[in-house]
Amino acid sequence: MSIHLKVEHLSHRYATAWAIHDINFEINTTGIVGLLGSNGAGKSTTMNIICGVLKQTEGDVFINGMNLKEDPLQVKRQIGFLPQTAPLHLESTVEEYLTYAAHLRFIDKMKVKQAVAEAMDKTGVAHFSSRLIRNLSGGYRQRVGIAQAIIHKPSIVVLDEPTNGLDPNQIIEARRLIQRIGQEHIVLLSSHVLTEINLLCRDVIMIENGRIVFTDSMDAFNNYVQPTSLLAVMENPPASAELQAIDGVSKVEFLTAKKCRIYFSNKSNIAETIIAASIARGWRLQEINLERSLLDDVFKELSVQP
């Protein structure tokens, strides 16, 4: 089965203000693609349009070659959506709610039971099938939200900030589940957290002020945000001039008497060099950590790219 999402010249205006401008991208294999952007960047607007929940002002969305504008019912059968607030019925049991979701997705009546069982199985909620959704933890509610998004076996699953509001253990579980879903579907996942996208996604589309500012593999993105500074804690630190004299070091800032930030340029083995110098010169290095650019800095830098 072909699997393909294409977004072409997508723009949207709420009342008088444009939320997104000329968004273009294409995904044609299963796997997880991250939509990364700060709050208000335009992620939800883009996702809502792709899922047919919001009608765009301009541009087109094609799914498996079909235009969402021209054939909305058929196209929506190929999409599963978990919006930022999961559309759950708290007073239904998991099974009742998923049965309702299966009917909404026009699943053949004869196949509803099986589809519900499969979705519960895949998302690990089968043992809670007769529990009221109200009585589930946040992590399990989110799994039910994901179950309704995959119940009709769509080609594309869109997850808007799916780990937001979960506790650290629930986040780990949710990530595992999303990784499994990404093996069978195109998953488009939004987040404003770089680590989240980094851990889960093969490719990244970065959006800022409603425009795409970067789109490539996660590896290419990581190369772009190579560390340029490190933090070092030394029991017996040298004078800043001595550190600054090391080849590749461009600036040194002492934050406390024993802790300093060392800036460097294009020197991949700088940590090794500093460790060796510490041993040779008795600086008694206790800690050394590379610092990646802050997401805000990356946004700023990418936003001024041509």
Q: Which residues bind ligand ATP (CB under 6 A)?
A: 14-15, 19, 37, 39-45, 192
Least distance in angstroms from the C-beta of 79 to ligand ATP:
18
Which token pair is 84? Answer: 């930022």
Which letter does DSSP use for residue 270 in this model? H
C-beta of 12 vs 122, nearer to ligand ATP: 12
132 phi/psi in degrees, rounded to 5? -65, 140
Q: Is 237 helix (H, G, I), strand (E, B) or coil?
A: coil
Least distance in angstroms from the C-beta of 42 to ligand ATP:
4
Least distance in angstroms from the C-beta of 160 to ligand ATP:
7
Provide the β-strand partners of residue 31: 186
C-beta of 175 vs 192, nearer to ligand ATP: 192
Least distance in angstroms from the C-beta of 149 to ligand ATP:
17
How far lies 208's CA from each of 83, 96, 128, 200, 302, in Å?
20, 40, 40, 20, 9
166 phi/psi in degrees, rounded to 5? -90, 155
C-beta of 39 vs 305, nearer to ligand ATP: 39
Name the nearest CA neighbour of 10 among 69, 50, 73, 60.
60
Least distance in angstroms from the C-beta of 220 to ligand ATP:
22
* Under 8 Å between Cβ of 59 and 10: yes
C-beta of 43 vs 76, nearer to ligand ATP: 43
C-beta of 15 vs 304, nearer to ligand ATP: 15
C-beta of 164 vs 273, nearer to ligand ATP: 164
Q: Is 64 helix (H, G, I), strand (E, B) or coil?
A: coil
Name the nearest CA neighbour of 82 among 50, 36, 130.
50
Least distance in angstroms from the C-beta of 202 to ligand ATP:
21
Which token pair is 115? Answer: 């589809």
